[in-house]
Structures are given as structure tokens and as C-alpha cells.
Structure 1
Amino acid sequence: MTKLSVNINKIATLRNSRGGNTPDLLKVAADIEGFGAEGITIHPRPDERHIRYQDAYDLKEIVTTEYNIEGNPIPKFKELVLEIKPTQVTLVPDGDDNITSDAGWDTIANQDFLKKTIAEFKEAGIRTSIFVDPFQEMVKGAAETGADRIELYTESFAVEYAKGNSEVIKEFAAAAQLAHELGLGVNAGHDLSLENIAFFAKNIPHLAEVSIGHALISESLYLGLQNVVNMYKNKMKA
């Protein structure tokens, strides 16, 4: 069965917007695991605009399921991951000013860099995954780097599926099948939501894990607002 890893970046964004410690990132992570998620994902960025580097260390003591740290393997990020030794590191080719991830690796042009980086992480006993677009040549390139898994970048799937184009799933399924044949595990993430996750999971072979953050947290707000509004009303009854 496919595992769900919840990206808690947006919880950190909300906390940082007011200072202090509300919501409590560590408590949220523990609660999410208690609710049944099989993993926690974070994506610290150099400016620490959501997840702070200290959060990554603090979560190491809290997370009891799979701990996945995503990011661009700049020296500071590599040092962080090698010290914490999470279950998995997912390499993402973000620029410093990216609002969110917007492309997978060119695993051919960056082959030497990825090989060297992945070797360092694997020597430390950390499972490695590479963020890739669903292109056959990029999956083949990923297999050559020594990575354990790929993470399929699913924004294009989400966009096309929302337009009614379900045929887009075919290139993702083909990429997943090729990855499996080449000995790579298959993860996926970006813009997966309650609207599309069932279709995606049903049609992607060998899908080990999905990482979902923005949609899941946004959906939680909508699905929980009625309950919380009513709780406030009840508290103020005479």
C-alpha cells in the first residue's frame, strides 16, 4: 500500500507569520503521525521562510515514522542532512528564490554532481530520492546516479487532470514502470490532492510513497472550519 508522508512546511509558515510557537510544529507532526500518516516531510530553504534549520533537528527527536528532508543539496543543506540522518533525503533542484518546486532534475546534465552527492548520503545510511519529471530519459539518468528512488514531479498531472485530461496519467505510469524495471523505488508529489489522489494512486504502478503538503493543509482548513466556528459559538452561549 502507498504510504502518505505529510509535508508540514505550511504549518511552519503559519507559525512564522506571528512569531511565537502557534501552531506548535512539533505537536502537529506528532499528531499527524497519530492520525495515521506514515511519514513527515520538510523542505527547508536557505532563507528559512517556513521550516527553520533548527526545526529539522528538533523534529528528529519527534518523528517516529519515516522522516523525509527535501531540498537543493547546497553545502548547508548537505551538512544538515548528514548530521540528522533522516530516513530519506529527496534532492530537488530549487533556486534560492523559488516559491515552490517547479521542475525536476536534468539527471543527464547533472549526472556527475548527483552521483557524488548521492554517494555521500548513501555512505551515511540515508535513502536517496531524486525529484524528476516523468520523462524516460530522466528516469534512466536517475538510475545511473545510484539513487534509491525517484520522486515524480506531479504538477503537470494535476493541472491536466483538473481540465478533464485523464490521458496525462499515461506518461507518469510509464515513467514509474521504467523506474521499477531499473531498480528504483517510486515516490510522487506536488499538487496531489483529495480531487486527484485516488485516480493517481490507482493508475501508477509500484507507487511507494506520496508527499502532500499544501493541498492537505488547505483542505484541512476547509473541512475543519465549520466545526471550529461552532465550537466558538458554543463556548459563548450564556
Structure 2
Amino acid sequence: MRRYVDAGVLIQLVAGVLIGAVLAFLLGKSLIGGLLMFLGFAVALPVVYLLDRGPLWQRIEEGVLTFIFAAMTLVTFLQVILRYVFNSGFVWALEFTTYCFAWLVLFGVSYVFKRQAHIGVDAFAKLFRMPVQRVLGLVVVAFCLLYAGIMLYGSWDYVYKIWRIGIPSEDLPIPQWVPVSILIVGMALLAVRLLEAGHAIARGEALSLLGDEAREAIQDFAAAEVDPDAMATPEETRAGIPHPPGPHDAPPRSGRI
């Protein structure tokens, strides 16, 4: 367990508390509802402390996803309780959860690219040698960047028009361009992840956008350290009974040279 908290975690904690307070003030229709929302948002980002790995901006990305999922779950839970128990509820709950789900999906697209967890078929690419596979991977990255660029341009134009006209949200007390701006953010992050993937392929660190599950499983198995004594039962340890050798133990010598 860590005995210190770095600056990245503190920034995320403060951001969670501040955003939670603002949303509770804007969206809370009652003292209890606002308090529960504040607590839910305030404790959402500390989950990222358990996922502390990589640079700060990548940990913030994980924190935002955790934040959105916790917010959507909390509001939905409160809405069900208020509706079926107290015959009340939040008018803006449906629109809020809809926007949260859109943010979760569009933010998750780039995150899944980072984790190399997108579903794909690479049977055709596997027919060629590794240099050809890298070329095919770069071609795929180029097409994906073209798609991200087109979507980014269209999203910018769409959000700009909404901002220029001043269209408000149906139930939330915020202008519509604020939640819709995830189109720009999501496509920009996707382009960044694609550039990172293309750079890794060009340097020979990867072959494609997809992860090789079989190779990763073999590497994880080879990197695992199995201690046969740790696998022995307490009775075997006290009695001095040798435990069967593990997969990483050296084979016994026969005595012959």
C-alpha cells in the first residue's frame, strides 16, 4: 500500500470535489438530493488512485471515465428511489444520464485504443511477414485518422452553430453546447491515440492497432514467478515434505555428465 499521495491524485481529488459541488448546486432540487450528488461526485475520482499507473494525463483519463460512470449510476439509482418510494424525482435525470452515456462512449473510444482492446480481425494481416504487417498497420492508422479528422471537423462545426444560436438544454440548466462538446473532445483524443499507435508501429514496437492476446498471455506466463514453497500447505511445510516442482523450476540432474 502506498504511503504517499502524488500531485496527480491530489489534483483529481480536488477536481472531483469542486465539480461535485458545482453540479450539486446547479442540479440539486433538494437538500438531500444535492448532498448525495455532491458525495457521489466527490468520491468518484479517488477510485483512480487504485489505477495509478502511467503519466498524469493518462490517469486523469481513467479518472474521468470513472467519474462519469459513477455519476450516471448514482443519478439513476436516486431517480428510481425517489420515483417509486417518495413519488418524486429529478426532472433532468433522463437527459443527464443520456449525456453521461454519450460522454462515456466517446471518451472510452480513445481509452480502449490505449489499452489495445478494440475488437478486430487480423487473420488477413497475419498471412504476411512482420514488415508487411507494419505497413498494413500504418495504412489502417491513416484511414482511422482520416475518419477522426472528418468527425472532428463536423463536430466543431456542429458545436459552433449550437453555441452561436444559444440553444439551451431541455431540462438541464446549461446551454446545449456544453454536453455536446464531447464530440470534439472525443474525436481529438481519438486522433491523439491513433498518432501514438502509428508512432509505435513505425518504431517497430507494435504491428497493428490490435493487441496480440496470445502473445501477451505467453509473456505474462513467462514473467510470472511461481514459488513452490508458497504453494505447499502448512502441514507439508512443518513436516518438511517437498512440494512438487513448479513450471519454472529447473529439472533435476541425473548425476551423469
Asked if these proteins are the same fold (TM beyond 0.5), I'd say no
Q: Give the strand-richer structure, 1 or 2.
A: 1
Task: Identify the structure with bigger relative contact order (alpha carbons < 8 Å, sequence gap 6+).
Answer: 1
Q: Give the helix-richer structure, 1 or 2.
A: 2
